[in-house]
Amino acid sequence: MVTVALDTDFFRRWMSAVAAAVDREAQRLTELDSAIGDADHGTNMRRGFAAAVASLEQEEPGTPGGVLVLTGRRLISTVGGASGPLYGTLLRRAGRTLGDAGSVTPAQLRDALRTGVDAVAQLGSAAPGDKTMLDALYPAIEALGASGEGFEAARRAAEEGAVATVPMQARRGRASYLGERSIGHQDPGATSSALFFAALADTVGTTGSGGTGTSDGVGEAA
């Protein structure tokens, strides 16, 4: 059985794609956050992922797991508010789950991300339906499927999950203090989570689903 293998270069390019997407959408993220939060989500996320990409270039971790752990560590140290610890926990836990493998399958990535998302839920004492980033993250994980290869499906599920937060009343985070006034606004954390999975799908798309070699970041493992 042939399956796609995702190597260290792929993970580095994925994190760079996330940073580019966050930079591009930073103003929108901040505008969303201004309605129900501290009006700094875009600014904080831009700063955090820019710092993470710089660290990846300087330290050059040698494994996919190492890329995620380093990115998560930098987010925790540079992103203000709740976003740093939440995204940092997601990536660090996922990276540690992947361990020291030089490349991983999409299914392994899916399982690692689920472990990370579960850790975020525990850290934030939140669940789907609370109008948080989990409303985009969990649908995306489910859409990846048992094989972990539903990258485009995960993108769509995350985007739909983010939009679905609009009619919700926030039950966790700063937005929960607004009560019913949080209804009618899209959650900024769910929106940035959708960017995270969109960047994953885009990175897979630039390498090809079948892969021709590890120099492209995607190879084939028997």
The structural domain count of the chain equals 1
Q: The CATH number of the domain where 200 resides is what?
A: 1.25.40.340
Query: How much is the pLDDT for 80?
Result: 75
- pLDDT tens-digit map of 135-163: 999 999 999 998 888 999 999 999 999 99
| pTM for the structure as a whole | 0.90
**What domain range is 188 assigned to?**
3-221
Query: How much is the pLDDT for 48?
Result: 96
pLDDT at 210 over 50: no
Split at pLDDT 50, 70, 90, the class of 3 is low
Please state, for a pLDDT cut of 90, what percent of the chain lies above it: 80
Query: How much is the pLDDT for 155?
Result: 97
Which H, E and C letters describe the chain, residue by residue?
CCEEEEEHHHHHHHHHHHHHHHHHHHHHHHHHHHHHCCCCHHHHHHHHHHHHHHHHHHHCCCCHHHHHHHHHHHHHHHCCCCHHHHHHHHHHHHHHHHCCCCEECHHHHHHHHHHHHHHHHHHHCCCCCCCCCHHHHHHHHHHHCCCCCCHHHHHHHHHHHHHCCCCCCCCCCHHHHHHHHHCCCCCHHHHHHHHHHHHHHHHHHHHCCCCCEHHHCEEEEC
- pLDDT tens-digit map of 55-79: 999 999 999 999 999 999 999 999 9
- pLDDT tens-digit map of 179-209: 999 999 999 999 999 999 999 999 998 875 4
